[in-house]
């Protein structure tokens, strides 16, 4: 057996949602185990959560700073190999920077940080320390997303002309936050969520999905943001027109007020030679159609699906895989890279089958440009990312 | 039997496509029969086409002007009750105006005319002469479109917030027109098609579908038009952001370069209380979901579908109906109105289960505002229609 | 124009359902027109129905016998070219035999007749008189059914191993007939419907669909018939295991008590080299998958669909076609054959793009064998058809 | 934290498939951890596999007997709480009996054993020892299967009339076993697989799914088994008609030669008042239709889905869950029961949210009756289960 890595977690205690998802994602492949945690911003709740998860008392920390100090005091052979940051967005920056600077690899939830300046600093910190840094744009972990990207790279779509990407939810169609729902509360609070609401929470997933599959780079965008629910302080809906380098055009819409929708993330890409269409809620099939050919439906582990998807799948065809497995693929990629680094591989030699700090930085830049366009009245705004 | 009406056709001869569709749509209900025609702009072809269709030689006309004159010379009891205009867009105006002015009812293909000025004049002509005037926005004839509209009117969606409408085709992804394909040829020629390509040909269908279902009125729009195929003179793709009166927002995209797509017209409407989703290529089901309720799928003649749809259907549930029946519903509505008028009903008493000249005029206005927005660089442009 | 044929109709008057479908199907292509009718078994209703349809008084007959006599008295140039028989099953035999024997071509609804003996006699009558005889197994008229058959014939499925065919409805889940619903009434009455209920009404469609697509011949069958609704006199449900010549096996189920189902007719065929799957309620796509290849979805007028389907389609891809068009294809095939015969073609030279009297006879034989198997306790029963 | 349980595994070493699935299913909830193993019938491979999984050398056993002895020698506080049996079918009986008799709880793959006599003995052994015994009919673990069952129990379907269940695969359409494919090899070998091929491997899943959802008890059945692939020694296809107590009827088909199918397990149930339809390959939605009501689509965590499904789900709606989670639900149920027993609960007080040894015995009885019916020529055969 390759030795299991160990990791700590910041956030994700009692009452949180995404922390448990991260832990299941790691558990699935058994390549790392949770040994330390600063699981809540409230020390008591942090410790209670650590007990729930069976952490040793001496690695149950009251804050991320205690955890960083505590782990650094341990011999490096008995120190966490990486930290998972699953807190609301506003704390990502200082936590991630501190761990990265201290030489501990990081897996961080998205959006990465609040500002491009923070993102730049983080990119530099990572470059300097050489740690592995993954951002959990989890939808990029789906096998058929990887296959879609490989079809694009193989030229099966020709030159891309049009991209339609959507992420539509309905759970914030009413002012849930005023009733104290925890998930709604921080996501609609600018102090914790950042400059954008829906755009930051789900629009960035859409941005990342386009980049992952197509590799297209934005040139400019025109964003119309709306806050439909009275009293809400951030956008809960966005419609964005995008122009890409090379002439392709895109439409990105995201909304949290589309009643009846759950996590309806979908992408369609049309090129001169073919098209693809994929939908997150039914992730085990991918539609592909060559320009003058018959419609084809790739199934996750079925005929014609290449090694990129193959490496990201755990079950035979027809045994559906879903969200957790995609999430686990991000972790597996990061853990493999961390293990390789530990075993002496050079950073440039590391496999990067996961979104990196640079992807995270580009997401932050995207949010900023969208907010800027909207603030000026939904006008065309430069969106080139040179980070 | 209610006596059959009679009609004449302008355009739709040998080599045309849509004329045959109009004739099938009329034939389905047997409420009118074709007795006269100026079926081509080339007199010889017009006459040959008339022979194919079994028209009497004395009502086989070489031009629409001959036909108008010829019919007016006949006793009114033996004159066509209406004319179907199925020519390329550039001739709609003068033909429709002449017949309407002469007191002959009109069914005209869309887009109605080339300019708002023409549209206004036509609206006035129709008002003055009192004829019935239908525009074949055929998708509004689908039973479940009528049911969708009735759900909106009944308040099942609450206040509408978001509208997504798409009409994506792929047949013009290559320069078909340069090979002389007749349908591609005139649609990409500004002289015949008008100021817009995809927007005029299919975007207007999308505009009409939104208006039919939601009743929303546009306030402003921001339109990014693209010509993807080199050498083409009109847009073959459009992405349009729309702001409606009352705060709803919409995204309307249409494209003729989405390879793999056939006639993928779809609409999704989200309100404060519920949503609907419908797709033209599978027209026999309609998705509806109340905000906190279970997803519901209405089937065309199934439980819960009201009389608006019921009147528009000919078969029991599960016997699928499709494009021709929807088209026939426009004609049946128009023919019933013409027959009622003939029987003495006042214009204001006429059933109007079909798009009227005013709907046609609004479509023309929409095209103009889109082209204006795009011309200025895809900027927000007033789009109120007061016609 | 090829001269229009003329036809008469037996049955299909006021209150009937299928007669109107037949008339729409003929009207769609305008290749024949209704000129005579004995539209009801009640002479007064027959005449009233004829008036509704605008028939000339002298060809509005009080009974099919009057109609046969009346038409035979007319000069052959002014006589109906064929008769459509759309009455309940019990009268098909004598009407069809009489017209066929008199040299008038026949289009007859299914199931053809009540007994194999009648079917044999009818086959002989047709052979002797040389008339065209079509049976409206309308589902065989769908373009993608024709394409499916062509894939089988082209060997794309290899040797067929398994066939699953279903026709599930729910409308007879309650004793509708006791409330006097006309359609339910005669279908559940052995005197009019014949020896079987669901099997005759819809099971025969399933049998025909299998034969049309696969060409397989039955060897034996084991049929479990059920009458679920108390008091009903005929089966409203059947499950039938079938063994075909050459080793293929099939499952045919039909039911009228599957609540929630409308006209859910579907077929799946699996061979050594590939499979196909098609469903009547969404008739514009056909799934095909080669053994180790990617799933393919043929669309009605899309790439890869051959001339058999092409001839059976009227609209470009994405403009959905449905039930009426499939029905019209049966009529168009029959009318073309009748016209060809009239123009002097030899019977063996007639195109037969429609189910013939022999298909009808095979359907009757199928019903008999099913009823026999069930009567004996659902035991294996010889089902070879040598008619 | 509830203390983690520990478990051992028999089978599931290098080259095996299902063992890894069992381990992932346990890992997901972190409620038990693997500490011992006899992972292969070849001792060397068993030890190598144990090393891969990081087992301690003293709990890496060369055979299941060694493991049983070894664990029994340990203090009970440090003994495995249960054993997972994931070997081919032929060894289930002796392994399961030995562990159960020794007081160690068991999770066993299906089909349970080879004969009803063995099953009976096992049921008695379990009754005597009082251990928890779960059989991994994993499809019963899907949340919407639980919801379907709750709809039936709540009377939403009324009296059940018809059940259609299918499990269609295509992977054995060619003689894979002759090429030495390990999964194909033992499944087509009567010595290891038992008296049935497809029926034992997947038909039993279908049988269990019907029982789980409907609670119906079989009265008799008529089974036509086929071996399509030349040289194969067991059935690779079955079509089975079933009569249930109370008058319901069913069709169960399973096949491993349906090319193009992956794991197409589906069930449709029709009652007097409503119907349900569910398909394993898209497990996050369930169709329900009341007799005269609108079609409803339940989504896994959406509105209207009750607590039975709620307890079996880990993610918010729209984040799809799939095969692994369903499998994990079986384990979680068993582990909770084992932990409760350990904490002193009486057997009758144990939650049984998982298939038990009695379900396993009924599955074996089903296989026997099917094989008996087929052997006699596909005749009706008593199928009552009184075990």
Domain ranges across chain B: 5-139+327-356, 142-319+363-382
pLDDT category of residue D349 using cuts at 50, 70 and 90: low
D373: tokens are: 């019916």
pLDDT category of residue D17 using cuts at 50, 70 and 90: confident
Query: Shortest CA distance to A131 belongs to which of A175, A154, A97, A178?
Result: A97
| Cβ partners under 8 Å of residue B59, min gap 6 | B8, B35, B36, B37, B50, B67, B70, B71
Query: A251, B270: Cβ pair inside 8 Å?
Result: no
Q: What is the pLDDT of residue D1?
A: 45
pLDDT category of residue D348 using cuts at 50, 70 and 90: low
Do residues A53 and A37 make contact, with C-beta atoms less than 8 angstroms apart? yes
Summarize the confidence of residues D132-152 as an average pLDDT: 97
Summarize the confidence of residues D49-73 as an average pLDDT: 96
Q: Is the pLDDT of residue A16 over 90?
A: no
Summarize the confidence of residues C242-260 as an average pLDDT: 98
Do residues C385 and C366 make contact, with C-beta atoms less than 8 angstroms apart? yes
Q: What is the pLDDT of residue C196?
A: 95
CATH assignment of A142-315+363-382, given 3.30.360.10, 1.10.10.10, 3.40.50.300, 3.30.300.100? Answer: 3.30.360.10
Q: Is the pLDDT of residue C348 over 70?
A: no
- Considering only the beta carbons, identify the residue of D251, D257, D275 that sits closest to C260: D275
Q: Distance between CA atoms of B17 and B29, rounded to whole angstroms? A: 20
Element (H, E) at C295: strand C295-299
* Burial bucket for residue D75 (CB in 10 Å: 0-12, 13-18, 19+): exposed
Which of B227-231, C179-183, C279-283, C383-387 is predicted least confidently?
Answer: C179-183
- Considering only the beta carbons, identify the residue of D21, D262, D299 that sits closest to A317: D262
Summarize the confidence of residues C278-290 as an average pLDDT: 98
pLDDT category of residue B346 using cuts at 50, 70 and 90: confident
Q: Distance between CA atoms of D258 and B152, rounded to whole angstroms? A: 45
3-state secondary structure chain A: CCCCEEEEEECCCCCCCHHHHHHHHHHHHCCEEEEEEECCCCHHHHHHHHHHCCCCHHHECCCHHHHHHHHHHCCHHHCCCEEEECCCHHHHHHHHHHHHHCCCEEEECCCCCCCHHHHHHHHHHHHHHCCCEEECCHHHHCHHHHHHHHHHHCCCCCCEEEEEEEEECCCCCCCHHHHCCHHHHHHCCHHHHCCCCHHHHHHHHHHHHHHHHHCCCEEEEEEEEECCCCCCCCCCEEEEEEEECCCCEEEEEEECCCCCCCCEEEEEEEECCEEEEEECCCCCEEEEEECCCCEEEEECCCCCCCHHHHHCCCCCCCCCCCHHHHHHHHHHHHHHHHHHHHCCCCHHHCCCCCCEHHHHHHHHHHHHHHHHHHHCCCCEEECCCCC
CB contacts, 8 Å: A299 with chain C: 295
- The three-state secondary structure class of D385 is coil
* Burial bucket for residue A349 (CB in 10 Å: 0-12, 13-18, 19+): exposed
Summarize the confidence of residues C316-321 as an average pLDDT: 94
Q: What is the pLDDT of residue D62?
A: 94
pLDDT digits (tens, 9 = 90+) for B167-182: 999 999 999 999 888 8
Mutation choice for A interface testing from B172, B198, B239, B294 by most A CBs within 10 A: B239
3-state secondary structure A3-61: CCEEEEEECCCCCCCHHHHHHHHHHHHCCEEEEEEECCCCHHHHHHHHHHCCCCHHHEC
Describe the crossing of helices A92-101 and A116-129 by its angle, rounded to 10 degrees. Answer: 20
Chains touching B (at least 3 CB pairs under 8 A) are A, C, D
Which fold does the domain D140-316+363-382 belong to in CATH? Dihydrodipicolinate Reductase; domain 2 (3.30.360)
CB contacts, 8 Å: A296 with chain C: 294-297
List, in sequence order, every residue forming a beta bridge with A380; answer none if it has no partner: A222
Element (H, E) at C278: strand C274-279
Mutation choice for D interface testing from C220, C227, C260, C271 by most D CBs within 10 A: C260
Q: Distance between CA atoms of A324 and D285, rounded to whole angstroms? A: 18
Do residues C245 and C219 make contact, with C-beta atoms less than 8 angstroms apart? yes
Q: What is the pLDDT of residue B174?
A: 97
pLDDT category of residue C1 using cuts at 50, 70 and 90: very low
Q: Does domain B5-139+327-356 have CATH number 3.40.50.720?
A: yes
Q: Distance between CA atoms of B73 and B130, rounded to whole angstroms? A: 20
Summarize the confidence of residues D353-379 as an average pLDDT: 97
- Residues from A in contact with C at Cβ < 8 Å: 292-299, 302-304
Q: Where are the alpha helices (DSSP H) in D130-200?
A: 143-153, 182-187, 190-193, 198
For chain A, give the mean pLDDT.
95
Do residues B192 and B88 make contact, with C-beta atoms less than 8 angstroms apart? yes
- The three-state secondary structure class of D376 is coil
Q: What is the pLDDT of residue A350?
A: 59
Q: Is the pLDDT of residue B2 over 80?
A: no
Q: Distance between CA atoms of A197 and A183, rounded to whole angstroms? A: 12
**What residue has token string 């759900």?**
B151
- CA distance to partner chain A, nearest, from residue D357 (Å): 25
pLDDT digits (tens, 9 = 90+) for B275-301: 999 999 999 999 999 999 999 999 999
CB contacts, 8 Å: C249 with chain D: 224, 226, 237, 239
Closest chain A residue to the Cα of B258, Cα to Cα: A270
CB contacts, 8 Å: C29 with chain B: 24
Q: What is the pLDDT of residue A387?
A: 78
Do residues C26 and C9 make contact, with C-beta atoms less than 8 angstroms apart? no
For chain C, give the mean pLDDT.
95
Query: B325, C322: Cβ pair inside 8 Å?
Result: yes
- Considering only the beta carbons, identify the residue of D4, D54, D325 that sits closest to A54: D4
Q: Is the pLDDT of residue A264 over 70?
A: yes
Q: Distance between CA atoms of B204 and B137, rounded to whole angstroms? A: 9
Q: Distance between CA atoms of B297 and D285, rounded to whole angstroms? A: 13
Distance of CA D349 to the CA centre of its chain: 23
- The three-state secondary structure class of D237 is strand
| Cβ partners under 8 Å of residue B162, min gap 6 | A237, A255, A257, A258, B248, B249, B250, B268, B269, B270
- Considering only the beta carbons, identify the residue of D292, D297, D299 that sits closest to B303: D292
Q: Is the pLDDT of residue C169 over 90?
A: yes
C158: tokens are: 């290899």
**What residue has token string 């992977």?**
D171
Q: Distance between CA atoms of A277 and A285, rounded to whole angstroms? A: 9
Summarize the confidence of residues D211-225 as an average pLDDT: 98
- Considering only the beta carbons, identify the residue of D161, D377, D380 that sits closest to C378: D380
Q: How many CB atoms lie within 10 A of CB B183?
A: 18
Q: Is the pLDDT of residue A240 over 70?
A: yes
The proportion of chain A whose per-residue pLDDT surpasses 70, expressed as a percent, equals 98
**What residue has token string 């052994």?**
D125
**What residue has token string 């709609």?**
B92
Mutation choice for A interface testing from D324, D326, D328, D329 by most A CBs within 10 A: D324
- Residues from C in contact with D at Cβ < 8 Å: 161-162, 164, 166, 170, 173-174, 222, 224, 226, 228, 237, 239, 241, 243, 247, 249, 251, 253, 255, 257-261, 268, 270-275, 289-291, 295, 377-380
Q: What is the pLDDT of residue B347?
A: 60
For chain D, give the mean pLDDT.
95
Closest chain D residue to the Cα of B305, Cα to Cα: D294
| Cβ partners under 8 Å of residue B353, min gap 6 | B311, B312, B329, B332, B333, B336
pLDDT category of residue A351 using cuts at 50, 70 and 90: low
Give me the phi and psi of C7, to 5 degrees please: -145, 160
Domain B142-319+363-382: give its CATH code. Answer: 3.30.360.10
Q: Distance between CA atoms of A30 and D28, rounded to whole angstroms? A: 10
Q: What is the pLDDT of residue D350?
A: 58
Which of B97-111, B242-256, C336-350, D54-68 is predicted least confidently?
Answer: C336-350
For chain B, give the mean pLDDT.
95
Q: Give me the long-range contacts of C124-128 (CB less than 8 A, separation at least 24).
A: C125/C97, C125/C100, C125/C101, C126/C100, C126/C357, C128/C101
Distance of CA B108 to the CA centre of its chain: 8
pLDDT digits (tens, 9 = 90+) for C87-145: 999 999 999 999 999 999 999 999 999 999 999 999 999 999 999 999 999 999 999 99
Give me the phi and psi of B298, to 5 degrees please: -80, 135
Q: What is the pLDDT of residue C351?
A: 56
Closest chain D residue to the Cα of A50, Cα to Cα: D1
**What residue has token string 């056939």?**
B262
Which fold does the domain D5-139+328-356 belong to in CATH? Rossmann fold (3.40.50)
Q: Which CATH architecture has domain C143-318+363-382?
A: 2-Layer Sandwich (3.30)
Q: What is the pLDDT of residue A348?
A: 61
Number of helices followed by number of strands (H, E) in chain C: 13, 14
Q: Is the pLDDT of residue B380 over 90?
A: yes
Q: What is the pLDDT of residue A61?
A: 97
Q: Is the pLDDT of residue C362 over 80?
A: yes
Q: How many CB atoms lie within 10 A of CB D95?
A: 22
Query: Shortest CA distance to A260 belongs to which of C238, B257, B311, B287?
Result: B287
């Amino acid at each position: 057996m390759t030795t299991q890595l160990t990791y700590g977690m910041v956030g994700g205690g009692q009452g949180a949602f995404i922390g448990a998802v991260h832990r299941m994602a790691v558990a699935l492949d058994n390549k790392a185990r949770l040994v330390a945690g600063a699981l809540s911003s409230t020390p008591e709740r942090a410790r209670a959560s650590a007990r729930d998860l069976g952490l040793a008392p001496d690695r149950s920390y009251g804050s991320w700073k205690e955890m960083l100090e505590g782990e650094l005091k341990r011999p490096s052979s008995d120190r966490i190999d990486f930290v998972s940051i699953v807190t609301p967005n506003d704390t990502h920056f200082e936590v991630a920077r501190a761990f990265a600077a201290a030489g501990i690899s990081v897996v961080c939830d998205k959006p990465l940080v609040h500002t491009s300046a923070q993102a730049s600093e983080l990119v530099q910190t990572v470059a300097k320390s050489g740690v592995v840094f993954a951002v959990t744009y989890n939808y990029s972990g789906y096998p058929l997303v990887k296959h879609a990207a490989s079809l694009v790279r193989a030229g099966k779509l020709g030159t891309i002309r049009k991209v339609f990407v959507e992420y539509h939810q309905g759970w914030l169609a009413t002012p849930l936050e005023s009733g104290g729902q925890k998930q709604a509360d921080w996501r609609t609070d600018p102090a914790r969520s950042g400059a954008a609401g829906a755009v930051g929470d789900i629009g960035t997933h859409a941005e990342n999905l386009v980049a992952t599959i197509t590799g297209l780079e934005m040139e400019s965008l025109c964003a119309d943001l709306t806050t439909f629910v009275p009293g809400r302080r951030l956008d809960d809906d966005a419609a964005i027109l995008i122009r890409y380098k090379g002439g392709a055009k895109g439409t990105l819409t995201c909304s949290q007020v589309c009643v009846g929708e759950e996590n309806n993330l979908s992408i369609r890409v049309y090129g001169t030679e073919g098209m693809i269409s994929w939908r997150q809620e039914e992730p085990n099939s991918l539609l592909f159609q060559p320009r003058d050919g018959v419609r084809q439906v790739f199934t996750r582990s079925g005929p014609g699906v290449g090694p990129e998807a193959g490496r990201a799948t755990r079950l035979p065809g027809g045994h559906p895989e879903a969200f957790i497995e995609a999430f686990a693929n991000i972790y597996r990629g990061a853990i493999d890279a961390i293990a390789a680094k530990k075993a002496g591989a050079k950073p440039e030699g590391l496999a990067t089958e996961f979104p990196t700090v640079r992807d995270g930085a580009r997401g932050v830049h995207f949010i900023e440009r969208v907010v800027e366009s909207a603030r000026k009245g939904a006008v065309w705004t430069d969106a080139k990312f040179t980070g």
